[in-house]
Amino acid sequence: MSSGTCGVCVGRGINFPVALEGALKLKEISYIHAEGYPITEVKHGPMALIDAFMPIVVIASRRDKHYNKVLSAVADVAKRKGAVIVITDGDKSDFEGKAEYVFQVPSTLECFFPLLGVVPLQLLSYHIADLRGLDVDRPRNLAKSVTVE
């Protein structure tokens, strides 16, 4: 991701807040504009922006009862040559030919997946910031303490 690049993080159901957290970390640590969306809304805006320079991070739990719909959305993004990064507890082969990168987390109950799925997003933000030469220990404009009046 170069300067000025932006990204989209998407998730479904219980993983939508994970997508929001991923976008937040990209903004706070890497200074890259990113938006979190429910994956069901990708066709209503972000799809128009997707190209080889627009990374889209997909959080996909195989225990989600709509996992096949997530796979379908990933295929739609791949058709538009989007740079797809997937975080999943599913089989990597589910995303073969559709995603540039697939990060697997251990399989767990669906309610615990967000705890595991957020870690690769935090590491992604950290490493992007490091590659950009940013001080990851001192992000700008973040209050690290609560001020009480």
- Look at residue 3 in the predicted model and tell me its pLDDT: 43
**pLDDT of res. 147:** 54
pLDDT above 70 covers a percentage of the chain that reads 91
Average pLDDT, integer, range 77-88? 90
Angle between helices 16-25 and 113-131 (to 10 degrees): 20
Per-residue model confidence (pLDDT) at position 145 = 52
- Nearest-CA neighbor of 124 among 50, 41, 3, 27? 27
Beta bridge partners of 84: 56
Residue 11 · residue 18 · CB < 8 Å: yes
Please tell me the predicted confidence (pLDDT) of residue 2. 43
Specify the CATH number for 6-131; select among 3.40.50.10490, 3.40.50.300, 3.30.70.360, 3.40.50.11270: 3.40.50.10490
pLDDT computed for residue 1 by the predictor: 43
The CB density around residue 61, as the number of other CB atoms within 10 Å, is: 30
pLDDT confidence of 136, banded at 50, 70, 90?
A: confident
- 17-75: pLDDT as tens digits: 999 999 999 998 899 899 999 988 887 777 777 888 888 999 999 998 889 999 999 99
Task: Indicate left, alpha or beta for 19 from its phi (over 0: left) and psi (-120 to 50: alpha).
Answer: alpha
Q: Bigger pLDDT: 41 or 2?
A: 41
The ranges assigned to domains in the chain are 6-131
